[in-house]
Every structure is written in structure tokens, then in C-alpha cells.
Amino acid sequence: MSRTSFVSLALLLLACSDDGGDGGSGGASTTSSTTSASSSSASTTTGSTTTGVGGAGSSTSTGTGTSTGTGGGTCSHDLCEVGEALVDGCLPCVSQVCAADAVCCDAAEGSWDQICVEEAVMLCGIACESVVLPGALVVTEIMNNPEEVADTLGEWFEVYNTTMFDIDLAGYLIHHDLGSIHVVSGSVIVPSGGYAVIGNNADTATNGGVSVDYVASDVVLGDAADLLRLESPGNGYIIDEVEWDEASGLDPSGASRSLDPTTIDATLNDDDTNFCEATSFISGGAGDRGTPGAANDACP
């Protein structure tokens, strides 16, 4: 099995698991050695670009090369960082990765490249800032049919970051109705455990009072049916995709399609029945309902 097909297979398995996302695009190349989705935000970080902590708030780091807490020796660099090939066994996770992909421990011919980093994330469950996998972002709210303002002025959607790292959407591809692709220009930080709002108009005086973090004026949100897909740059992973169709019975006008807060998950948001009409009025808005940039209303 080639190295890239291993990553694709692992992503496929991830997509089939409970906490997986929408899976990667099978033909996507993962050979580029860097991903550009790393966060450059200084809002919560200390300047370290990769930390590799194993869990939020956990003091046991399974990703750092200096960790010896789970046996093994000391690795020459962090498992989340690309660099020279690591010595097999310097951490249990390295043994796991190199058993599957010998290149990562081949000092003569190989190196610990970005594929090795991704494999460490997928095989060992560590977290690395440079690896954004399907499910990391979830589309949680879609205002596809505002009423108080024209759709051409007041459409927006909201994404939530499920990971412990901030995610920068710079370079991400936004598809609506497959075939239309918007490439995010510039930095748009989705904070860890927080939201970003992407809309077609940032002027709160004319867009229904919505604070928009990024304007994508060419992303049109169909009233009857449409889809949104967020694709990461470089590796082409589908980080989340959501489709809707009024045939499901949910067909709001003047209220967003709002994902129930108990189902914030990239797989669960594939089911239209997990959405309902928002009930809160947009703060300072013109009368439409939604919670852009904030937690969603509970569904009945």
C-alpha cells in the first residue's frame, strides 16, 4: 500500500467512526509536505506552533519528543513537527507509525514528513496543530433565506471549531452547489471551541445586523436546496459538508437553519432533521432570527 493510500484509508476509517467527519476525497494527494491550515493566531497560544498535547488541559503530552511518560526514549523532535527520521521506539507512537510506514524511521532514505505527522495523529490519537482532519470544523447554522433583507445582502453561515487549536481558514475552498468554488483570501481564525461567520455582506446596516468575520460574496445559498463544503488547502480533505433540501420539511424564511446544539458534529449535521429554525432574534438586527457567532438555540 502506498503511503498516500494509507492516509486515505485511515481517513476513510475515521469517517466511519463515531467521531469522524465526512471523510477525505479519495483521490486527494497528500504528498505535499506541508499543510497551510496551521493557525497563526496569537489569541491563546504562547508562540509555539505545534504542541502535540494529547488532550485539552492534559499535562501528559503524547506528541512531544521530550515526553517519556509512556515509555520509550527521547525523540529528537516533536512528533507534530516535520524533520529528520525518528528513531524507532523513541516513543510508542513512533513505533506504531513506523510499523505502518517505515519511511518515517528510515534515517538514511526517509524523514519524518507531514504524512508521518498525519499518521501519528490518526494512529495514536495525538493532536497536532498542522493536521486538520474531517470533522474539525462543523457548519452549525445557515441563513439561506433572510426575509428582512434581500438574500443578496443577508446570507451567511456559521462554522464551529471542534478542536483544541485555532484554525485559520486562509486558502480553504468553500463550495456551494458543487462547481462553484470560493478560495478564502486572507486569514480567518476560527477559535478553538468558537465560531466564525461567513457571509455575502459585512455591512451590518444592510445585512440584517449580522457581524460577519469574512465576506464571500460569490457564495450563494439556495433557498430550496443547496450544499456547503469546506475543503482544506493542499491535501483536499473535506473538513465538513452539509446539504439541505426543503423536501425535508425544514424550509425557513427569515430564520436560519440552526443545528441543534446537542448534535454539533460533522456527521450529524448531514441529517437535515438535526436542524430547526432559529428562534432568537438577531441582536440589533432587522427582525430575522439566528445566532450568528454564538451558540445555537435548542431545537424543540
Among residues 148, 151, 243, 251, the one that binds Ca ion under rule CB under 5 A: 151
Tell whether residue 162 is a contact of Ca ion (CB under 5 A).
no
Tell whether residue 200 is a contact of Ca ion (CB under 5 A).
no
Tell whether residue 240 is a contact of Ca ion (CB under 5 A).
yes
* Interface pattern 15-54 for Ca ion (x via CB under 5 A): -------x--------------------------------
* Interface pattern 80-119 for Ca ion (x via CB under 5 A): ----------------------------------------
Measured from the CB atom, is 15 or 90 closer to Ca ion?
15
Q: Distance (Å, rounded) from C-alpha 244 to C-alpha 224? A: 8
Tell whether residue 265 is a contact of Ca ion (CB under 5 A).
no
C-alpha to C-alpha distances, 206 to 54, 147, 152, 254, 289, nearest whole angstrom:
44, 12, 10, 15, 15
Which of 81, 93, 76 lies closest to 38 in space, CA to CA?
81
Q: Distance (Å, rounded) from C-alpha 65 to C-alpha 127? A: 13
Measured from the CB atom, is 64 or 256 closer to Ca ion?
256
Measured from the CB atom, is 52 or 290 closer to Ca ion?
290
> Considering only 79-87, 182-190, 207-215, 283-291, which stretch makes contact with Ca ion by CB under 5 A?
283-291
| Chain positions contacting Ca ion, by CB under 5 A | 22, 141, 144-145, 151, 158, 221, 223, 240-242, 266, 269-270, 291, 296
